[in-house]
Amino acid sequence: MIQPIAPVRAAQTLILTGISEEDMSVLEIDVDGRTFVGELFEDLAPASIKAMRDFLPHESEIMHVRWSGHAVWVNIDEIELPEIPRENHTVYPSRGDILLYPGYRNEQEILLACGPTCFKSPAGELAGNHVATLDATPEELSSLEDMTLENGKYDVSIRIREDFVEGEE
C-alpha cells in the first residue's frame, strides 16, 4: 500500500491509499450550522485515532488560537487521554489539517489550521499529531477563522462517522 507523503485532501487520499468508500471513516466537525468532513489518517496516526474513538463524540466550544496564526482550536483538557506517542506530527499544519495535541508540554487540544499556522504556545513550538485533513475550501476555512476571531467562541460538535460515503454530507 502506498502511503501519502504529505497531507492531502480526502479524495486524493482515497486514490493514494487504495481505501474503498466502504472502509472510510471520517471526522465530522459541526460549527454554527456548518459541517466540515475529513478522512481520518488511521494508518499514519493509529494511537491518536484510537484515543479519539474513545472520547468522541464530543461537544465543546471552538475558538480562535492565541499563539499559532490562522487556526481555531478546541480545548480537551477535561478528557483523560491515554499516553499517545508522537505520530505523523507537525508544527506547521497546512490549511484544513486537524491536529490532536495530547498535552506533552501544554494543555490538550484539537487544532484546525485555517491558513498559515505555526502551532505554538507560551512554552514554544508544539508538534501535534496530524489525524485528518478536512475537505473544505480556503474560503470556508477562512470564514470559520474570521467568525471566531470577530465573535469569540462557538459551540462545536466533533464525531467520527464510520458509514460515510463520498458525496454525502
pLDDT band at 19 (very low <50, low <70, confident <90, very high): very low
Average pLDDT on 45-70 reads 96
Nearest to 114 by CA among 91, 138, 92, 131: 138
Supply the DSSP symbol for 43. Answer: T
Q: Name the least confident of 16-20, 26-30, 46-50, 79-83.
A: 16-20
Domain 10-161 fold is Cyclophilin (2.40.100)
Q: Which residues of 141-169 are buried (b: 16+ CB within 10 A; e: fewer)?
A: beebbebbeeeeebebebebbeebeeeee
Nearest to 99 by CA among 149, 69, 134: 134
Report domain extents, the chain.
Answer: 10-161
Give percent above pLDDT 90 in the chain: 77
> What is the grid cell recorded at 138?
480556503
Please indicate, yes or no, whether the overall pTM of this predicted structure exceeds 0.85: no
State the alpha helices, DSSP H only, in 9-165: 10-17, 46-55, 138-151
* Higher per-residue confidence, 11 vs 111: 111
pLDDT band at 24 (very low <50, low <70, confident <90, very high): confident
Distance between CA atoms of 7 and 114, rounded to whole angstroms? Answer: 14
Residue 56's identity, in one-letter code, is L
> What is the grid cell recorded at 153?
467562541
Beta partners for residue 28, in sequence order: 37, 159
